[in-house]
Chain A
Amino acid sequence: QQQVKQSPQSLIVQKGGISIINCAYENTAFDYFPWYQQFPGKGPALLIAIRPDVSEKKEGRFTISFNKSAKQFSLHIMDSQPGDSATYFCAAPTGGGNKLTFGTGTQLKVEL
């Protein structure tokens, strides 16, 4: 069973600052690592994902950094905004096929 360790559990960042969330995974032969954003009472939304043939992927203010040798990947949110306040989950493939195991989540609060 794939384990995904996510940190920190909660994070407070000032508006305009950089939010950084980290995840570590166990052995995997698969090549897809997504991040999801979830607002209260809503389903998770796919935010950004990376395949380990690259070490970094950027989409707007969101960047994934991937370190295959260390089995770690992180989400960076540049110029954080109050609207980014949400819970973020990383995930990694598990059990073969297309199942995902999710991290424990990081509750981000961006203060004015």
Chain B
Amino acid sequence: HVQLQESGPGLVKPSETLSLTCSVSNDSIGNYFYNWLRQTPGKGLEWIGNIYSRGSTNYNPSLSDRATISTDMSRNQFSLKLTSVTAADTAVYFCTRGGPYEGRYSATYSLYWGQGILVTVSS
């Protein structure tokens, strides 16, 4: 059973960079979609972006090029960096693993989820 776990600071100052890591257990990072999403009471579930197929990425344009997702195969992890954060970036952040990359599509459902990590942006 694949397990994912988010880690990182729970408090980030405005204008700084939010950095989160997702550790994957019971599976090796491979030819699947790996996603970051976030959830707030006001905006609901928001997809941040994904990484797949040896480093291809897609991001939500709503984040204005502030997000970067990368993988570290040696550690079986993938990461999110979100720059220039504001209070609006306060949310529960989830990492997920989706379906397999089959060469045609750029997004997928999320089958496995981490428990989520609350990140608060505040000075």
Partners in one complex: no
A residues in contact (CB < 8 Å) with B: none
